[in-house]
């Protein structure tokens, strides 16, 4: 069977005999009647895309292989003769062009957040209780839980993608990244046959964002590994890792050869779009969103169910525990979503995940192995973590040989002895953990294992404070602490210094060339070039990257300092509220209530900041960083943006609490929240007598009703913006 041009994707790739439709062309392109090239190209694109959708999505071929080959060849020749006819939705554009040089970071129009996890039915029920609380639907004492319609979908173990369509045409595809920004991989995603290049809608929206999961089916994965083995290449560990690596290939032809698939599961439509003609109506629920996606040409996982209550979800979860093992792709749980989109908007988000959805995970695969030794690793905060090293064992698609044991309490709980046989599993299908010890297999005379009394890196006496689970090395000069701090500082979410990996950091610390983060910025090219695996070119690039990193935004610098409990999300919130390290220092020591007033920031974080700034060594570090060129404050551009967002008065809304509900005309929920917080206001998830204003958009739900019953003022988006612009 021939393959047209560079096209490796074929709607009759099985080679089976199918029946061609009555109107399928029976003549070769050479004998087709003369028509307008533009009109003919449009007809061919439409027919070939419909054929691909029928084969890859509906599993119902429209035409025989030779017919498809002829039509594809005719379109290819038309486009070669008339390059102006080439369009992004042409099947000839699924694969083609030279490999790209790299991937560009792009911002998501709508954040691509991860889901919180539940690992048992009680944890699922606890999530449902929290959901009822935020929706003001908690039952009275003695009453049954209110039943909210939910949607249960199998959780595909693949890689999340964000697809952007404009006027029905795929214009961009990106990875999840950090949820706010990802890498653009449009050329690679075009090769996935189940991703439509043009939506099958008569009147498509001005824009639509589709979220879904890219995957490699198990059978395809096995075939890929067989081919790699025959070529003497390293095998992929599991389908998910193979898919992730494939999506980041620089050559789309390699991606096409690995035959990825895609399931769509989430939809975001432009606010003004309404269906006309035969197009599906604008969805008002998650279930209707899945039907909309299928009608628009996407492959939607058929193993989803609209559940009237939580009991139906639990039954679905139990049914698929064994059934999922018969599927041709990997799954690791069930995603549970609140069905009503208006209630989803009312429930809102935490800083990391939607409140209206959760991933209920199946128990991880377990396997026994023999313990070889107990080692310890020292983290950047000085915490000493015991690590069990055992005989390698295959587990959930990978081979594992070590697992962290968290702390000394876990050692006691396991009652771990030398030579024990341990049962290992992957928590959340990712992180190996020791579940239990098979004491009946313990060798005679085995010694109980415990943490050492001195640091394995520097020999200092280890400390465990009363009430704490962690055992720490408190020597600030400990090489392990320094290495961890350096790795964190140069990491992607912090200063993002390319070219400074773990091996080089180890060299710099072990040779005494770097004794603090600031010392990195005193390195010169000649010294770096003399190190192992470094040349003049690599050294000069690293020096340039370090210099560039001084311009990273204030919130990245704050995150890079590695303050306990201050992750990327909290660093952004703190940096919006406090424009410099000096301001944050003053608040931590004198007015910690200013810190806890920030949405999502609690007393634990405020206390951690207080302790960090009270440590003389940390003040010394800030002084050293300032000496090498760090402002440790907002740049002029950041200050200008903050002033503009807050009407040049970042205390304009101080002391006021807002609740957002419904869909706003222009602002997303996160944008509105950012403007309010930048002006000193606080955004809450529920309405009470203490609420200052409710900002309501279209399809506002129960929060609007409660505001009206309590007499809380209600603002439109325009009124909110007017309030922000007051001086």
Tell me: pLDDT of 678 over 60.
yes
Question: What was the pLDDT predicted at 24?
Answer: 41
State whether 354 and 386 are in the same domain: no
State whether 354 and 341 are in the same domain: yes
Percent of the chain, pLDDT > 90? 44
State whether 253 and 334 are in the same domain: yes
Question: What was the pLDDT predicted at 665?
Answer: 79
CATH of the domain at 707: 3.40.50.10190
Tell me: pLDDT of 420 over 80.
yes
Question: What was the pLDDT predicted at 617?
Answer: 85
Q: Assign 141 a pLDDT band (cuts: 50, 70, 90).
A: confident
User: What is the per-residue pLDDT across 366-384, written as a single tens digit (0 to 9) for each?
Assistant: 889 999 999 999 988 888 9
Q: Which residue has the higher pLDDT, 602 or 196?
A: 196
Question: What was the pLDDT predicted at 640?
Answer: 62
From the list 552, 111, 163, the residue with the least C-alpha distance to 351 is 111
Percent of the chain, pLDDT > 70? 87
Catalytic choice (155, 426, 682, 703) = 155
In a domain, 544, yes or no: yes
In a domain, 458, yes or no: no
Question: What was the pLDDT predicted at 231?
Answer: 76
What SS3 string covers 539-570? HHHHHHHHHHHCCCCHHHHHHHCCCCCCCHHH
Question: What was the pLDDT predicted at 248?
Answer: 83
Assess contact for 683 and 599: CB atoms under 8 A.
yes
Assess contact for 237 and 184: CB atoms under 8 A.
no
Q: Among 30-39, 267-276, 422-431, 647-656, name the most confident range.
A: 267-276
In a domain, 123, yes or no: no
State whether 537 and 586 are in the same domain: no
In a domain, 125, yes or no: no
**Cα 155 from Cα 139, distance rounded (Å):** 30
Mark which of 297, 329, 361 sits at the end of a domain: 361
CATH of the domain at 74: 1.10.287.610
State whether 375 and 273 are in the same domain: no
Q: Assign 642 a pLDDT band (cuts: 50, 70, 90).
A: low
Mark which of 608, 634, 660 sits at the end of a domain: 634
Tell me: pLDDT of 33 over 70.
no
Q: What total of structural domains would you count in the chain?
A: 6
Q: Which residue has the higher pLDDT, 134 or 245?
A: 134
Question: What was the pLDDT predicted at 648?
Answer: 44
In a domain, 606, yes or no: yes
Question: What was the pLDDT predicted at 88?
Answer: 76
CA distance readout (Å), 220 to 235, 325, 410, 516: 13, 16, 41, 49
CATH of the domain at 590: 1.10.150.20
User: What is the per-residue pLDDT across 506-539, written as a single tens digit (0 to 9) for each?
Assistant: 999 999 999 999 999 999 999 999 998 898 999 9
Question: What was the pLDDT predicted at 674?
Answer: 74
Tell me: pLDDT of 405 over 70.
yes
Strand ranges, E, within 523-631 = none
In a domain, 279, yes or no: yes
* pLDDT, averaged across the chain: 84
- Active-site residue flag, 155: yes
Question: What was the pLDDT predicted at 8?
Answer: 35
- Locate tokens 């999922």: which residue? 324
In a domain, 134, yes or no: no
In a domain, 116, yes or no: no
State whether 604 and 686 are in the same domain: no
Question: What was the pLDDT predicted at 724?
Answer: 82
State whether 319 and 207 are in the same domain: yes
Whole domain around residue 576: which residue ranges?
A: 554-634
Q: Which residue has the higher pLDDT, 576 or 213?
A: 213
Across the range 419-430, mean pLDDT stands at 79
Cβ within 8 Å of residue 420, ≥6 positions away: 370, 371, 437, 438, 439, 441, 442, 446
Question: What was the pLDDT predicted at 31?
Answer: 37
State whether 174 and 297 are in the same domain: yes
State whether 162 and 273 are in the same domain: yes
User: What is the per-residue pLDDT across 346-360, written as a single tens digit (0 to 9) for each?
Assistant: 998 876 789 999 999
Question: What was the pLDDT predicted at 57?
Answer: 55
State whether 591 and 492 are in the same domain: no
User: What is the per-residue pLDDT across 198-221, written as a single tens digit (0 to 9) for each?
Assistant: 999 999 999 999 999 999 998 898
Question: What was the pLDDT predicted at 643?
Answer: 59
Tell me: pLDDT of 419 over 90.
yes
Question: What was the pLDDT predicted at 262?
Answer: 96
Across the range 57-83, mean pLDDT stands at 69
Q: Assign 79 a pLDDT band (cuts: 50, 70, 90).
A: confident
The mean-pLDDT minimum among 270-284, 514-528, 635-649 falls in 635-649
User: What is the per-residue pLDDT across 488-506, written as a single tens digit (0 to 9) for each?
Assistant: 999 988 999 999 998 999 9
**Cα 400 from Cα 391, distance rounded (Å):** 8
Q: Is the dihedral of CA 363, 366, 371, 372 positive or negative?
A: negative
From the list 676, 680, 720, 723, the residue with the least C-alpha distance to 696 is 720
Tell me: pLDDT of 429 over 70.
no
Mark which of 587, 602, 634 sits at the end of a domain: 634
Q: Which residue has the higher pLDDT, 427 or 374?
A: 374
State whether 12 and 84 are in the same domain: yes
Question: What was the pLDDT predicted at 101?
Answer: 55
Across the range 596-620, mean pLDDT stands at 86
State whether 523 and 424 are in the same domain: no
Question: What was the pLDDT predicted at 18?
Answer: 32
**Cα 284 from Cα 293, distance rounded (Å):** 13
**Cα 200 from Cα 169, distance rounded (Å):** 10
Tell me: pLDDT of 416 over 90.
yes
């Amino acid at each position: 069977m021939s393959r047209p041009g560079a096209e490796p994707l074929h709607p009759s790739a099985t080679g089976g005999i199918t029946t061609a439709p009555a109107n399928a062309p029976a003549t070769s392109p050479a004998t087709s009647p003369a028509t307008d090239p533009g009109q003919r190209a449009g007809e061919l694109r439409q027919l070939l895309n419909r054929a691909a959708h029928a084969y890859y999505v509906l599993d119902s071929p429209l035409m025989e292989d030779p017919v498809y080959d002829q039509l594809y060849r005719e379109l290819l020749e038309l486009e070669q003769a008339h390059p102006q006819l080439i369009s992004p939705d042409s099947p000839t554009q699924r694969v083609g062009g030279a490999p790209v040089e790299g991937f560009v970071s792009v911002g998501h129009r709508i954040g691509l957040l991860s889901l919180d996890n539940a690992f048992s039915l009680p944890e699922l029920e606890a999530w449902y209780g929290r959901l009822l609380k935020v929706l003001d639907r908690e039952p009275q004492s003695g009453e049954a839980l209110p039943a909210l319609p939910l949607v249960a979908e199998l959780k595909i173990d693949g890689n999340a993608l964000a697809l952007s369509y404009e006027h029905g045409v795929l214009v961009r595809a990106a990875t999840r990244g950090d949820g706010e920004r990802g890498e653009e991989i449009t050329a690679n995603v075009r090769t996935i046959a189940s991703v439509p290049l043009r939506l099958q809608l008569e009147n498509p929206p001005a824009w639509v964002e589709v979220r879904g999961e890219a995957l490699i089916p198990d059978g395809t994965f096995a075939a890929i590994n067989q081919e790699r083995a025959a070529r003497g290449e390293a095998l992929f560990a599991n389908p998910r890792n193979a898919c992730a690596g494939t999506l980041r290939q620089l050559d789309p032809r390699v991606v096409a050869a690995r035959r990825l698939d895609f399931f769509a599961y989430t939809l975001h439509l432009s606010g003004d779009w309404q269906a006309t003609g035969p197009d599906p109506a604008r969805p008002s629920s998650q279930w209707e969103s899945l039907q909309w996606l299928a009608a628009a040409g996407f492959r939607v996982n058929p193993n989803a169910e609209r559940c009237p209550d939580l009991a139906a979800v639990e039954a679905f979860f139990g049914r698929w525990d064994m059934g999922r093992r018969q599927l041709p792709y990997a799954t690791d749980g069930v995603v549970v979503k609140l069905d009503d989109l208006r209630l989803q908007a009312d429930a809102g988000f935490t800083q990391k995940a939607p409140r209206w959805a959760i991933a209920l995970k199946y128990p991880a695969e377990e396997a026994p192995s023999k313990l070889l030794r107990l080692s310890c690793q020292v983290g950047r905060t000085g915490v000493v973590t015991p690590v069990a090293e055992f005989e390698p064992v295959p587990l959930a698609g990978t081979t594992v040989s070590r697992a962290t044991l968290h702390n000394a309490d876990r050692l006691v709980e396991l009652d771990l002895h030398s030579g024990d046989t341990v049962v290992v599993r992957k928590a959340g299908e990712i992180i190996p953990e020791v579940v239990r010890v098979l004491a009946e297999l313990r060798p005679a005379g085995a010694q109980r294992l415990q943490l050492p009394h001195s640091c394995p890196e520097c020999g200092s006496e280890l400390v465990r404070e009363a009430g704490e689970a962690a055992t720490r090395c408190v020597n600030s000069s400990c090489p392990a602490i320094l290495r961890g701090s350096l790795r964190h500082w140069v990491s992607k979410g912090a200063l993002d210094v390319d070219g400074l990996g773990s091996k080089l950091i180890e060299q710099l610390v072990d040779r005494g060339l770097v004794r603090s983060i600031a010392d990195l910025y005193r390195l010169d090219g000649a010294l770096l070039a003399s190190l192992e695996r470094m040349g003049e070119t690599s050294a000069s690039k690293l020096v340039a990257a370090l210099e560039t990193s001084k311009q990273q935004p204030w919130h990245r610098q704050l995150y890079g300092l590695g303050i306990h409990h201050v992750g990327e999300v909290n660093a952004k919130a703190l940096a919006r509220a406090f424009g410099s390290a000096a301001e944050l220092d003053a608040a931590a020591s004198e007015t910690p209530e200013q810190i806890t007033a920030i949405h999502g920031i609690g007393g634990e974080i405020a206390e951690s900041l207080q302790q960090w700034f009270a440590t003389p060594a940390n003040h010394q570090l800030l002084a050293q960083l300032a000496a090498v060129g760090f402002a440790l404050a907002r740049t002029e551009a950041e200050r200008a943006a903050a002033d503009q967002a807050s009407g040049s008065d970042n205390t304009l809304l101080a002391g006021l609490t807002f609740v957002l509900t419904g869909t706003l005309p222009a602002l997303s929920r996160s944008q509105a929240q950012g403007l309010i917080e930048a002006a000193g206001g606080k955004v809450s998830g529920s309405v009470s007598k203490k609420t200052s204003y409710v900002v309501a958009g279209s399809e506002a739900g129960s929060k609007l009703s409660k505001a009206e019953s309590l007499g809380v003022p209600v603002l439109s988006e325009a009124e909110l913006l007017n309030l922000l612009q007051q001086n």
